[in-house]
Amino acid sequence: KQEVTQIPAALSVPEGENLVLNCSFTDSAIYNLQWFRQDPGKGLTSLLLIQSSQREQTSGRLNASLDKSSGRSTLYIAASQPGDSATYLCAVTTQGGSEKLVFGKGTKLTVNP
Amino acid sequence: ETGVTQTPRHLVMGMTNKKSLKCEQHLGHNAMYWYKQSAKKPLELMFVYSLEERVENNSVPSRFSPECPNSSHLFLHLHTLQPEDSALYLCASGPRYVGEQYFGPGTRLTVT
């Protein structure tokens, strides 16, 4: 059974700092991996999608990497801003074309002005 | 209107009430999903509909009843809920077999 773990559960940093969020998964046979952002009481916004054949994806100040063999992904946020404060969720799709996303519990990020 | 919309955004209901949650997507996707998000738990997949047919039901209690009348609309009918069913219910849509999903804003449900 696929399990996704995110460390740390919460992170507080001063504005301007570069930071890394971690995601690990137990079954390396994934189809893709997604990073989402969730603001309090709101839905999820997709940030980056990495296919299993890719090593990384970049969007603005965000860079996500994927090491499928070791079951790990990182989300790097450069020059953090207070507006980046949110919960960041990692989710994997099982290989074989399943629609099922397996989520981690998320990392709650607070960027202090 | 674009994207995935959900109504209502907030709902308070008693344990004997019957209510329905509505989800609508304008993205042309052929798969839709219901998720439950409880405090301090990962998102839990409840139902998957693909081409208007239910393809997965993750052992959800029968007090939750989904309905997908067409590829753009998804409902979750609720009856005789328990207080532990209080949660954020999220709808998502996506192209089938791709794993990429787009989420609505959610309905915050409180069962009293």
pLDDT > 90 in chain A, percent: 81
Question: Of A89-103, B28-42, B67-81, which has the strongest mean pLDDT?
Answer: B67-81
Nearest C-alpha in A relative to B35: A101
Q: What is the pLDDT of residues A17-30, one digit of tens each?
A: 999 999 999 999 88
Rounded distance, CA A9 to CA A90, Å? 12
DSSP class of A55: S
pLDDT band for position B100 (cuts 50, 70, 90): confident
Burial class (CB in 10 A: 0-12, 13-18, 19+), B16: exposed
Question: Which among A32, A43, A49 has CB closest to B90?
Answer: A43
A34-62: b or e for each residue (b if 16 or more CB lie within 10 Å)?
Answer: bbbbbeeebbbebbbbbebeeeebeeeeb
Q: Structure tokens of B32?
A: 């839709």
Rounded distance, CA B31 to CA B112, Å? 32
Question: Which among A89, A91, A97 has CB closest to B97?
Answer: A97
Asked whether the predicted pLDDT for residue B2 surpasses 70, the reply is: no
pLDDT band for position A70 (cuts 50, 70, 90): very high
- Chain B residues whose beta carbon lies within 8 Å of the beta carbon of residue A108: none
pLDDT at residue B74, rounded to an integer: 96
Rounded distance, CA B33 to CA B91, Å? 6
Q: What is the pLDDT of residues B16-67, one digit of tens each?
A: 889 999 999 999 998 999 999 998 788 998 998 887 777 777 789 999 999 9
Helix (H) or strand (E) holding A47: strand A44-51
In this structure, how many other beta carbons lie within 10 angstroms of the beta carbon of residue B42?
Answer: 20
Q: Structure tokens of B1?
A: 């209107």
- Chain A residues whose beta carbon lies within 8 Å of the beta carbon of residue B48: 99-100
Query: Which of helix, strand or coil describes residue A84?
Result: helix
In contact, A58 and A52? CB cutoff 8 Å: no
Question: Of A38-52, A68-82, B40-54, which has the strongest mean pLDDT?
Answer: A68-82
Asked whether the predicted pLDDT for residue A98 surpasses 80, the reply is: no
Instruction: Tell if the CB–CB gap between B41 and A105 is shorter than 8 Å.
Output: yes
Q: Render B15-75 in DSSP notation, one character per residue.
A: TT-EEEEEEEE-S--SEEEEEEE-TTS--EEEEEEETTEEEEE-S--TTEEEEEEETTEEE
